[in-house]
């Protein structure tokens, strides 16, 4: 099946049609800057432009930077707070004239990794983390998503984990890979204790340098770099759309 995947970020909104049986992009990604301010009306128009660019009429999936429940935004990360309480799915459907599935952006990236990447075919509990400006998380059990986890916000030593452990903290504080890995190890140790995952997949831009920090970690759980990287949000959103219309 084919679906259009859209990855909505704080600085850019990008999309492409995807073969949801393989995870392959069927055309070059098309990107537009995220409107500033990122209000519901402005962002909906931008999403509609991406759908129009591909002359798309089939199912659409959108990874959105918020907690999403039944298509409604319950938070607003890097977008205008006026999104909170708005029905994102309904707004996008009305503007695009297509069936739309909306999910949290980290959940979309995780879905791509579990369906087509480092977690493909693995039974049990799989945790996907994106280490960037903050920490995004996606949790799966036997390939099924447990939506809207916010494991970047757990407290360790009285401090929110992502403020000390995200890749932005490493850069901001000019930490060596060894010092940052020690922080990351402590954070992952807590998640390992809470969740007992079979596998942890680490994504985000820093995953390109995984050889600098993954060997320094001491947790028992197998931990591997993400495979899809910049395409993960698009592919995962498209895969979620395919499942929603009954064609996984």
Q: Return the pLDDT at 112.
A: 98
What is the pTM (predicted TM-score) of this model?
0.95
Domain range holding 154?
120-226
Q: Is 134 helix (H, G, I), strand (E, B) or coil?
A: coil
92, part of any domain = yes
Are β-strands 72-73 and 100-104 bridged in parallel, bridged antiparallel, or unpaired?
Answer: unpaired
In residues, how long is the chain? Answer: 248
Q: Return the pLDDT at 248.
A: 61
Residue 122: both structure tokens together: 């693995």
DSSP H helical segments within 63-123, as ranges? 88-96, 105-116
Exposure letters 158-179 (e unless 16+ CB within 10 A, then b)? eeebbbbbbbbbbeeeeeebee
Low-confidence ranges of the chain (pLDDT < 70): 247-248
Half-sphere exposure of 216 (CA within 13 A, CB side): 16
208, part of any domain = yes
Q: Where are the beta strands (DSSP E) in 90-198?
A: 100-104, 125-131, 135-141, 144-146, 155-156, 159-160
Q: Return the pLDDT at 77.
A: 80
Assign residue 190 the CATH number of its domain: 3.30.420.40
Q: Return the pLDDT at 219.
A: 97
Are 220 and 240 found together in one domain?
A: no
Count of structural domains within the chain: 2
């Amino acid at each position: 099946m084919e679906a259009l995947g859209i990855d909505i970020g704080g600085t850019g909104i990008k999309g492409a049609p995807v073969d949801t049986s393989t995870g392959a992009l069927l055309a070059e990604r098309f990107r537009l800057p995220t409107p500033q301010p990122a209000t519901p009306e402005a962002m909906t128009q931008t999403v509609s432009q991406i759908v129009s660019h591909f002359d798309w009429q089939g199912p659409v999936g959108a990874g959105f930077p918020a907690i999403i429940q039944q298509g409604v935004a319950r938070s607003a990360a890097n977008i205008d707070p006026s999104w909170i309480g708005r029905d994102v799915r309904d707004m996008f459907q009305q503007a695009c004239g297509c069936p739309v599935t909306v999910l949290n952006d980290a959940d979309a990236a995780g879905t791509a990794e579990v369906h087509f990447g480092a977690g493909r075919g693995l039974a049990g509990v799989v945790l996907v983390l994106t280490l960037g400006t903050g920490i995004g998380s996606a949790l799966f059990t036997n390939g099924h998503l447990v939506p809207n986890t916010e494991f970047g916000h757990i407290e360790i030593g009285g401090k929110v984990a992502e403020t000390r452990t995200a890749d932005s903290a490493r850069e901001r504080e000019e930490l060596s890979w060894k010092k940052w890995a020690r922080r990351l190890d402590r954070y992952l140790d807590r998640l390992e204790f809470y969740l007992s995952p079979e596998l942890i997949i680490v994504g985000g831009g820093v995953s390109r340098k995984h050889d600098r920090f993954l060997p320094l970690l001491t947790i028992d759980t197998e931990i591997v770099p993400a495979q899809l990287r910049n395409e993960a949000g698009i592919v995962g959103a498209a895969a979620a759309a395919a499942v929603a219309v009954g064609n996984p």
